[in-house]
């Protein structure tokens, strides 16, 4: 089987995390999250990790050059020889150009969902203060109590509709040019993120299997 170098793109609330875990497990490739890379670099106290720690401590965002260097280092490890799944990189066109130099064959998966559907989906999400299960209020009925443990269901602050719209606007400003960049290439796959998670997964498997 040919190596599968995956880049996963999708707005917050699109189910990207669920699909990333399923794809990595199905195809036996490491799930590489930029958040995990940053945390690991700091824990390892590498020279790059110390730069990350200093940047974060100073209240700044980790720039293109630094995150690109961390990803480049991660892709030198043997577990990526047969492929990988990148989640959270690239985020900018500059990062995309760096990735092209690191690996010349990419499959870019875009999980698409319109903003208002994401707002509706996240606005209906609740977390139980007792058991910490996340669920939709449609699943829990109209009660304010968790149907599993009886604890109180609350909305996370970042699931407030206006907060979600701001997050989506930030995402679109970065992801829009990135999607345009990749959509012209033969390795681009777009699936409908409004479907049930299992249907999204099935569509992804079908599209990716056709490329292997």
Task: Compute the distance between CA of residue 154 and CA of residue 145 in angstroms, rounded to an integer.
Answer: 9
Q: Which residues of 14-23 are buried (b: 16+ CB within 10 A; e: fewer)?
A: bbbeebbebb
CB 102 within 8 A of CB 71: yes
- For the chain, give the longest Cα–Cα distance: 53
| Residue whose structure tokens are 């319109």 | 114
Instruction: Say if residue 191's pLDDT is above 80.
Output: yes
**Residue 59: which region, alpha, beta or left (left: phi > 0; alpha: psi -120 to 50)?**
left
Q: Is 74 a known active-site residue?
A: no
Q: Is 43 a known active-site residue?
A: no
pLDDT of residue 20: 94
pLDDT of residue 148: 85
Instruction: Say if residue 190's pLDDT is above 70.
Output: yes
Query: Which one from 26, 125, 155, 165 is the annotated catalytic residue?
Result: 125
pLDDT in tens, 25-78: 999 999 999 888 888 888 888 888 898 888 878 777 778 888 999 999 999 999
pLDDT in tens, 121-157: 888 888 888 988 877 776 444 457 888 888 988 888 8
Query: Which one from 156, 166, 185, 199 is the annotated catalytic residue?
Result: 156
Q: Is 125 a known active-site residue?
A: yes
Of the chain, the percentage scoring pLDDT greater than 90 comes to 50
Task: Compute the distance between CA of residue 165 and CA of residue 123 in angstroms, rounded to an integer.
Answer: 11
Task: Compute the distance between CA of residue 112 and CA of residue 195 in angstroms, rounded to an integer.
Answer: 10
Query: Which one from 16, 22, 121, 126 is the annotated catalytic residue?
Result: 16
Of the chain, the percentage scoring pLDDT greater than 70 comes to 96
Nearest alpha carbon to residue 128 among 106, 151, 112: 151
Instruction: Say if residue 2's pLDDT is above 70.
Output: no
Q: DSSP label at 126? A: E
Q: Where are the domains of the chain?
A: 4-209
Task: Compute the distance between CA of residue 149 and CA of residue 127 in angstroms, rounded to an integer.
Answer: 12
Q: What is the average per-residue pLDDT within 113-122?
A: 90
Domain at 4-209, CATH homologous superfamily = P-loop containing nucleotide triphosphate hydrolases (3.40.50.300)
Model confidence, pTM: 0.81
Instruction: Say if residue 98's pLDDT is above 60.
Output: yes
């Amino acid at each position: 089987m040919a190596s599968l170098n995956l880049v996963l793109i999708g707005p917050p609330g699109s189910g990207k995390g669920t699909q990333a875990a399923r794809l990595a497990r199905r195809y036996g490739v490491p799930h590489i999250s930029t958040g995990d890379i940053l945390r690991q670099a700091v824990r390892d106290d590498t020279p790059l990790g110390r730069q990350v720690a200093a940047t974060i401590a100073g209240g700044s965002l980790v720039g293109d050059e630094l995150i690109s260097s961390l990803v480049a280092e991660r892709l030198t490890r043997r577990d990526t020889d047969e492929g990988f799944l990148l989640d959270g990189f690239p985020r900018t066109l500059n990062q995309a150009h760096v990735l092209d130099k690191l690996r010349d064959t990419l499959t870019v998966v875009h999980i698409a969902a319109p903003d208002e559907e994401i707002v509706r989906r996240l606005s209906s999400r609740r977390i139980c203060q007792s058991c910490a299960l996340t669920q939709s209020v449609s699943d829990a009925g109209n009660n304010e109590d968790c149907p599993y443990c009886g604890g109180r269901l609350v909305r996370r602050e970042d699931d407030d509709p206006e907060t979600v719209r701001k997050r989506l606007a930030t995402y679109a400003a970065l992801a829009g040019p990135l999607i345009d960049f990749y959509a012209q290439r033969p390795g681009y796959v777009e699936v409908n993120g409004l479907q049930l998670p299992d249907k999204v997964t099935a569509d992804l498997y079908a599209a990716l299997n056709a490329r292997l």
